Amino acid sequence: MSRKIHKTDAEWRAQLTPEQYRVMREKGTERPHTGKYAQTTDAGTYRCAGCGEPLFASATKFDAHCGWPSFTAPIEGTAVAESEDRSHGMHRTEVLCASCDAHLGHVFPDGPGPNGLRYCINSASLDLEKNAES
């Protein structure tokens, strides 16, 4: 992770689309199966749409049949932060960009792989940097 990024609300509104702002700064959620990366299989690095930090590698992406891009792990342990989320009458673990505190989605203990985690992430919070060979 690089340095911590701080911007005013006005700066975020000027940079992000209304949907990105709703998801990333107001902790919103896309409707399932509507995000641009829900079914993407291109190789590359998924970066934070707010600050450009690398968050997830395409090699860890899998189809969880949940309607959102899902990953087994962040690109490195310090790329994302987690926070308890008790909104909407549920108890979940929120996933945030460690650099700019953008809301990315949630992590659940029902994924494949060695750690058994599923990082369920909103497409609006991601930008895919495709590999050259993609």
Secondary structure of residue 105 in the 3-state scheme? strand
Taking alpha carbons only, the member of 19, 32, 26 closest to residue 126 is 19
48, 51, 100, 120: the active-site residue: 120
What is the Rg, in whole angstroms, of the alpha carbon atoms belonging to the chain? 14
What is d(CA 79, CA 2) in angstroms, rounded to the nearest whole number? 9
Q: Which residue in the block uniquely carries the two structure tokens 């932060």?
A: 81
29 within 8 A of 21, measured Cβ to Cβ: no
Active site residue 48: no
**Environment class of 127 (CB within 10 Å of its CB; exposed 0-12, middle 13-18, buried 19+):** middle
Helix, coil or strand: residue 2: coil
Instruction: Just list the catalytic residues.
Output: 120
